[in-house]
Structure 1
Amino acid sequence: MADPIDSLSGRRDLRLFRGQVLPRRNELLTSPALWVSIGLAILLAIALPHLPAAYFPISEAASIGFTFASIAMGACIAAIVLALGLPGAARIKRWARLPGTTKNKSALSDLIFVLVWATLCQIGLVGTCVIALALGGPIALAPANITWSHSLGLALGFSTFFYAVAELFVVVQTLSQMGVVIIDEEQKNKDTSSSTHLSSPGQ
């Protein structure tokens, strides 16, 4: 059965990876959040054997990741709903026509992608925690006989966690910026309306 959304898309590519992620690959790969997360993860993986948390079980660390991801995913989905409903129909139509920072994408498309990408990062964190739970179980995060492959796994896991946290911060920042834009536009409309009212004949 054909996807009913396809009939609404015209010539738009609705596939998430090819239609949305791939055109923004340069922005994603050069994002400070990505490289800061990787840097922090590598530092923590190197320092962990010398920290009190070295013998913390991987299963419990994964449980903390699950809890964070579930809360963050709910926040990201709520943010998507707010981004589509809070601005109002007229403003949404205008943002859909404004060019965004990505070629052939609108400002509204960029806004929604930021929130969708943050949601995907939380899903990625869930997947990472499942793998950690399956492979690590009760094993310590940094046992005394730690191997290079174990350290690499730690760095990858911590990178995913830090990146998910960073993307949640981006969601909060984006909603804050959206609110500022809406308030600024409403104040400008109010000022324009007041000026028009004062300059009307017979007033």
Structure 2
Amino acid sequence: MRPANGGDFWRTHVWKRRRQLSHDTAPWVALGLAVAFTAAAPSLPVAAMPVTDLADAGLLYAALSFAAAIAGVGIAFGVPGAERIQRWSTLRSKGSDFAAFSDLAFVFTWAAMVQVAVVIVSFLAIVFGRDATVIPAGVSIEDAPMHYLSLLFSVWLWWYALFELTAVIRTVMQVTNAIVTEESS
């Protein structure tokens, strides 16, 4: 069942913010780090690590990060107070088609959705990775391009999720600063 006044999350909030999301540096920096890691992986100790161990770490990380994002939603909705939320709901963030409060909520919900993606990828790694190692000994990218592509995507997603977690932390501080500034004036 869809919310009465908010529509579909993907169509209403993500798709309409696609330009903003594509201009964000986080996914591109994450991609650069993922390429570097994937290229170096065969010579790193992580290459011999079982896929399931890495996936377990991904699940733990995603659970903690998801909790932080949901806590951010609680802070955004609970701490400011009804009057401030009403005011922020009418303000427009610079360069956004959305109200400032909607942008605030989106930061937390998008970060939570990225963490859900980490959970899904980690679960798939457990299901399909079984006893495999991250990089099987002697297997090059030419021998197993899909394996390396899967690793690249997984590492990209992990880095992107980490950057989204830092966005949650920074946003909580920005909300705090905004409230302190409004209260002291």
TM-score range relative to shorter protein: over 0.9
Question: Which whole-Å CA distance do the structure 2 matches of 1:42 and 1:131 have between them?
Answer: 21
Question: Which whole-Å CA distance do the structure 2 matches of 1:97 and 1:30 have between them?
Answer: 25
Question: Which whole-Å CA distance do the structure 1 matches of 2:146 and 2:7 have between them?
Answer: 38
Question: Which whole-Å CA distance do the structure 2 matches of 1:29 and 1:149 have between them?
Answer: 25
CA-CA distance at 1:90 after TM superposition: 0.8
1:22 aligns with 2:15: yes
Question: Which whole-Å CA distance do the structure 2 matches of 1:132 and 1:102 have between them?
Answer: 37
2:155 — aligned with what? 158
1:102 aligns with 2:96: yes
- Name the TM-score, length of structure 2 as normaliser: 0.93
- Name the TM-score, length of structure 1 as normaliser: 0.85
Question: Which whole-Å CA distance do the structure 2 matches of 1:44 and 1:170 have between them?
Answer: 22
CA-CA distance at 1:114 after TM superposition: 0.6
1:82 — aligned with what? 75
Question: Is 1:23–1:102's contact at 8 Å kept on the other side of the alignment?
Answer: no
Question: Which whole-Å CA distance do the structure 2 matches of 1:112 and 1:163 have between them?
Answer: 19
Secondary structure of the structure 2 residue equivalent to 1:61: helix
Question: Which whole-Å CA distance do the structure 2 matches of 1:132 and 1:42 have between them?
Answer: 19
1:53 aligns with 2:50: no
CA-CA distance at 1:102 after TM superposition: 1.9
1:134 aligns with 2:127: yes
CA-CA distance at 1:132 after TM superposition: 1.1
Which one-letter code corresponds to 2:43 in the other structure? H
2:37 — aligned with what? 44
Count of residue correspondences: 180
CA-CA distance at 1:16 after TM superposition: 0.4
Question: Is 1:76–1:168's contact at 8 Å kept on the other side of the alignment?
Answer: yes
1:192 — aligned with what? none
Secondary structure of the structure 2 residue equivalent to 1:97: coil
CA-CA distance at 1:52 after TM superposition: 1.7
Question: Which whole-Å CA distance do the structure 2 matches of 1:52 and 1:73 have between them?
Answer: 28
1:111 aligns with 2:104: yes
Secondary structure of the structure 2 residue equivalent to 1:138: coil
Secondary structure of the structure 1 residue equivalent to 2:89: helix
Which one-letter code corresponds to 1:88 in the other structure? G
CA-CA distance at 1:36 after TM superposition: 0.6
Instruction: Compare relative contact order (CA 8 Å, sep 6+) and give the higher one, 1 or 2.
Output: 2
CA-CA distance at 1:167 after TM superposition: 0.3
- Percentage of matched positions with identical amino acids: 33
Q: 2:62 aligns with which of 56, 63, 69?
A: 69
1:168 — aligned with what? 165
Gaps of 5+ in 2: none
Gaps of 5+ in 1: 189-203
After the TM superposition, list the runs of 4 or more consecutive aligned residues in structure 1 that deviate by more than 4 angstroms: none
CA-CA distance at 1:79 after TM superposition: 0.8
Which one-letter code corresponds to 2:149 in the other structure? L
2:177 — aligned with what? 180
CA-CA distance at 1:150 after TM superposition: 1.1
Question: Is 1:92–1:108's contact at 8 Å kept on the other side of the alignment?
Answer: yes
Question: Which whole-Å CA distance do the structure 2 matches of 1:62 and 1:156 have between them?
Answer: 13
